[in-house]
Structure 1
Amino acid sequence: MAKPNKNPLWQTTNKERKSYYVYFCGQNMIYTLVTSFLTAALLFQGLDVTKAAGITLVIKIWDAVNDAIFGAIFDKVRFKNGKKFIPWLKISLFAIPLSTVLLFSMPKDGSEAFKLAWYAITYMLWDTAYTLCDVPIYGMVTAMTERVDERTALQSYKSIWGGLGSGISTVIATILVGEGVGLSYSIVSIVVAIGAIATMFPICKYGVERCGGEVDESFTVRKMFKYLFSNKNLLLYYFGYFFNSSLNIMNALNLFVSFYLFNNSMFSMVVMVLSALPMLVFAALVPKFVAKYDKMKIYLTCAVLQVALSIVMWLIGYSNMILFIVLCVLRAIPQGIMGVMVFMFTPDCAEYGKFKTGIEAKGITFAIQTFMVKLTGAVSSALSLFLLGVIGWKDVSQAENFEQLKELGITQTPETLEGLWFIFIMVPAIGVALGAICWMLYRLSDHDVQLMTEANNGKITREEAIAQMKNPKEFLKVK
């Protein structure tokens, strides 16, 4: 028998919520391994950084096509059991881990052409598999409950579990390829894949789709673009997200920064562990913050703090290790809050889009989110490779891990190290600043979203919702 909810108005069960949370632990184990460690794996393979960056971006052409296609298919397909989200999650349960292992299992002795082809094909397979899970799991929250406060809680705590998954993946990869162990990234990917399968399974068994069972409107390309450009809040938010995430190259460079600037690749894990406690504490407080303050105001405040601390960090330099750690711990607080909140805005935009256009387009809305996550991850990886070429990075392909890199004594020039410090700290800070400029134009309050949700679900009329809104002007103009 399911445990009673602490909030009697909530629709989900305790087991259901926990299953939803731990899914993100596994998903983020995979995502973090690819976004944070693929660059290092490619460098150890000796791939030309410019060619690898080019392939990464070219694959995004397919990504744009496959996300748009899947988003449209997702809004149309109905499985025999009547479910919309869970069947896709079951399909992706093994597709994602398997494609991840293939991506990191590139033969070391192959020619450059063979390695580039391997990278292109396996990255495309991984990208497609990731789409199969990302759109459904984020859209699932709209089927689990129609209450905005419950959705906010689900998204807050799933982000904490997602952060835990990222941390687990980071620790596993850092230790196993670092000095003292020296395993290959292929072994690391297998370990992470097994953990991902175990944590992604429960939602497939215990998840319940209880809301939004209506058949979505059939999409044409014309209607799709009409919907996208009519949903200004969705576009504004993800324009900002693009800058913020695309320029966030810290994770891709973390191990090499630790090795070359702080003399040990394990240093990054020390910083992560020390930053984890304040990050988790403030992340856990996000539901309380959101209940009291507007989401976007919190988000913008954290963005400003993050930029300010990054500038101070860059100006001080990397010679003072203790001060660097202190600044990292302080910066982890706004980073943690933003990390929890980052995808809270997508369901709001989906409700806004339906209320404004009358089109049920959760598949397209969450496909945009998935596309932006993968696009920015690829741009970030490609940008990190490109910038390494700009600062004069020396080839490290003689080594397979940091243990071997240390033994071989492969060094970088002082100019390269200064360039590495700048791109590691300031390029992400510039991305946050550009994102904040876009988010300042976002106009959607939690109060109005709740009214839109109730109207979309038929609990109140459209006119009743507009009459109670804080910002009804836009809808008064719509016939």
Structure 2
Amino acid sequence: MADTTSNTHQTGFGERVGFWSYFTGQGMAMSFLTGMLTTYLLMNGIAVTQVAFAMVAVKLWDVFSDTIFGIIFDRVHFRGGRSIPWLRIAMIVVPVMTVIVFSIPAFLSPGTKLLWFVLSYIFWDTAYTISDVPIYNLVTLMTSDTNERNGILAFARMAALVGVFISTMLATFMVSERGGFSFSQTALALATVMFILMLPVSFTAKERVHQVDANEKYSLREIWQYVKSNKYLQRYYLYYIISGVTWTSSAVDLFVSYYFFGSALVSTLTMIAMAIPMAILSPLMGIILKHVDKFRLFFWSAILLSVTTFMVYFGGTHSLMLYLILISLRSIPQGVVLTLNLTFTPDVVEYGKFSSGIDARGIAFAVQSFSGKLISLAQPLGLFVLGFFAWQPLQASSFAALEHEAVTQSATALSGLWVVSQLLPAIGAAVALIPLLGYQLRDKDVQLMADANAGKISHDEAVAKLSPRLLK
């Protein structure tokens, strides 16, 4: 069938499929790196605290790389389009750098291995940033219809989750004691799939919309002043950062599966146990929010997330079945939190404009982006804590090699492994609730502010109808 643009779409079907395919490949790259990197480094004979220090260094680069590339993206223009030339670079360098990160030569000394990791990760992160900024800009060049853009991006997020699922399942099996593949072999196989998935958009997408570059820029002083004046932006993102930085379980998930339940493949069961409730819940969220205030649902889910994580910590090691049941139970409030966690930024933007008259959504979304990068420090934090429990360095190319060599850890180290996996996230989720206690925005109030900001009602009319707690 010919690829034609329907009356309701400016984009063709092939364009949209290529766009979504790109997100699937990109999701595979990110999930493979974040899910496997800590395990890979710890199996390269490097001390856990050294890995942690190195990861802090590269994660700090990770925090600021988007800003640096944003400046380059605004100033460097290639022939052939605004975004597409960058994507043609990204589809090659992201898979290549993924392989290089996971190909540390075994004969190198621990210090040289660490240097290989730091340099290769910085290049990988730069490559990933090159893949990320242009693809989000591309959708604004493909269509000027905001509803069409929203629909394309909504499906793109689902496509990215498909990539995460595929990458996690395949990579876990391949490096497990059953699969027997090395990390570098696994990286090469997945990188090939990433390239194939990221390729089409560069040749199917059309930049049909003329884009006028926005010159809206903020100084550090202006950003700080806005954040300081918007109390709900502060309170929500304090929650987001505290809970995210302390969610250290992903750093050690494969080791938990291997040492507590006998196989690294158990982590795939864990993922399925988490995915099923989330898959059921996500499509129903729109209906639920018609009847329940968003923040109340989020807040009580955040409480339950902390409670159920404590339950996993105290009861999860008794049996695999109980562990999976508790993980499934926890995934229900976790699914709500993950679904809603970034939907509060538009709310605090409306509050900021209503209370100050300043529409600084660029600053608010910059805070969102910065916070999202900052929570990646959860991995090195988990390793720092694990280092206090006498974790012994490992030297193995895969879990099959680890099983063959019968490498064990002390009871103290395993206790630390479980603390990093469950107790630290539980405590962090509980502490993070404190700033939310002062978060007073509710759906009804946000709608009133939005109507006033849009000129549908006057500022005084909105104030008269706002909840009394907001006027204190």
TM-score when scaled to structure 1?
Answer: 0.81
Q: Which runs of 5+ in 1 are unaligned?
A: none
State the SS of the aligned residue for 2:296: helix
Q: What do residues 53-103 of structure 1 show as CA deviations (whole Å, max 9, x unaligned)?
A: 1121123443444344445666x6595899877776565444433332222
Summarize the Cα distance change of 1:236–1:476 in structure 2 as closer, same or farther, 3 Å threshold. Answer: closer
Q: Name 1:461's counterpart in structure 2.
A: 455
What CA distance in whole angstroms lies between the structure 1 residues aligned with 2:138 and 2:462? Answer: 28
Match of residue 408 from structure 1:
405
Render the CA deviation track for 1:423-447: whole Å, top value 9, x for unaligned: 2111111222233333343455556
Task: Provide the residue aligned with 1:118 in structure 2.
Answer: 116
Secondary structure in structure 2 of the residue aligned to 1:45 = coil
What is the root-mean-square deviation of aligned Cα atoms in Å?
Answer: 4.1
The Cα offsets for residues 32-62 of structure 1, whole Å up to 9 and x where unpaired, read as 2122211110011111211121121123443
Is the 1:4–1:14 contact (alpha carbons within 8 Å) kept by the matching residues of 2? no
1:426: which partner in 2?
A: 423
How do 1:381-392 and structure 2 match up within 5 A? 381-392=379-390
Are residues 158 and 230 of structure 1, via their aligned partners in 2, closer, same or farther at CA, if it must alter by over 3 Å? farther
- 2:131 counterpart of 1:129: no
- Tell me, in whole angstroms, the C-alpha distance in 2 between the residues paired with 1:443 and 1:84: 42
Report the secondary structure of 2:43's partner residue: helix
Counterpart-to-counterpart distance in 2, 1:395 and 1:341:
39
State how 1:78-227 maps to structure 2 within 5 Å: 92-134=90-132, 151=150, 158-200=156-198, 205-206=204-205, 215-227=214-226
Please state how far the C-alpha of 1:290 moved relative to its aligned partner.
3.2
Closer, same or farther: CA 455–269 of 1 in aligned 2, 3 Å: same
**Residue pair 1:100, 1:189 contacting (<8 A) in 2 also:** yes
Residue 248 of structure 1, CA deviation: 1.4
Matched, 1:439 2:436: yes
Contact 2:252-2:420 at 8 Å conserved across structures: no
Relative to 1, partners in 2 of residues 1:182 and 1:135: Cα closer, same or farther, differing over 3 Å?
A: same
After superposing the two structures, state which structure 1 stretch, 350-359 or 51-60, moved more: 350-359
Q: Corresponding residue for 1:288? A: 287
SS at match of 1:285: helix
Q: Distance in 1 between matches of 2:233 and 2:190?
A: 33
Listed one character per residue, the Cα deviations across residues 175-196 of structure 1 (whole Å, up to 9, x for unaligned) are 1111122112122223333333
The residue that corresponds to 2:340 in the other structure is: 341
Deviation, 1:476, is 10
- Deviation track 1:256-276 (CA, whole Å, cap 9, x = no partner) reads 111111111111112322432
Distance (Å, rounded) in 1 between the aligned partners of 2:210 and 2:469: 27
CA contact (8 A) 1:181 1:403 kept: yes
Q: Residue 19 of structure 1 contacts residue 203 of structure 1 at CA under 8 Å; is this kept in 2?
A: yes
- Distance in 1, matches of 2:101 and 2:308, equals 35
Whether the 8 Å contact between 1:142 and 1:211 is mirrored in structure 2 is no
CA distance in structure 1 between the partners assigned to 2:76 and 2:452 by the alignment: 24
State the 1:146 CA deviation: 8.5
Q: TM-score, normalised by structure 2?
A: 0.82
Q: CA deviation at 1:333?
A: 1.9
Q: Does 1:265 align with 2:259?
A: no
Q: Secondary structure at the match of 1:392?
A: coil
What letter corresponds to residue 438 of structure 1 in structure 2?
P
Partner of 2:255: 256
Matched residues in 2 for 1:248 and 1:50: separation? Answer: 18
Q: CA deviation at 1:209?
A: 8.8
In structure 2, C-alpha distance between the alignment counterparts of 1:137 and 1:440, rounded to whole Å: 37
The residue number in structure 1 matching 2:320 is: 321
> CA separation in 2, counterparts of 1:37 and 1:191?
14
The 1:167/1:394 distance shift into structure 2, 3 A limit, reads same
Confirm or deny: 8 A CA contact 1:242 1:372 kept in the other structure. yes
The offset of 1:380, in angstroms, is 1.6
> 2: distance between equivalents of 1:473 and 1:403?
62
- Of 388, 394, 418, the residue aligned with 1:396 is 394
Deviation for aligned residue 1:454: 7.9
Q: Which amino acid aligns with 1:108?
A: A
1:209-265 deviations in Å (ceiling 9; x for gaps) = 979957232433333333443444444333222122211121221111111111111
Deviates more, 1:32-41 or 1:342-351: 342-351
* 2: CA distance, partners of 1:212 / 1:475: 39
> Any conservation in 1 of the 2:42–2:51 contact (CA below 8 Å)?
no
Question: For residues 120 and 83 of structure 1, do their structure 2 counterparts lie closer, same or farther at Cα, with a shift above 3 Å needed?
Answer: same
1:120-139, CA deviations, whole angstroms, 9 ceiling, x for partnerless residues? 11122223333344456567
Distance 1:209 1:237 in 2: 38
Structure 2: unaligned runs, 5 residues or longer: none
Assess, with a 3 A threshold, how the Cα gap between structure 1 residues 85 and 342 changes in structure 2: closer, same or farther: farther
Cα separation, 1, equivalents of 2:450 and 2:140: 10
State how far apart, in whole Å, the 1-side matches of 2:111 and 2:373 are.
25
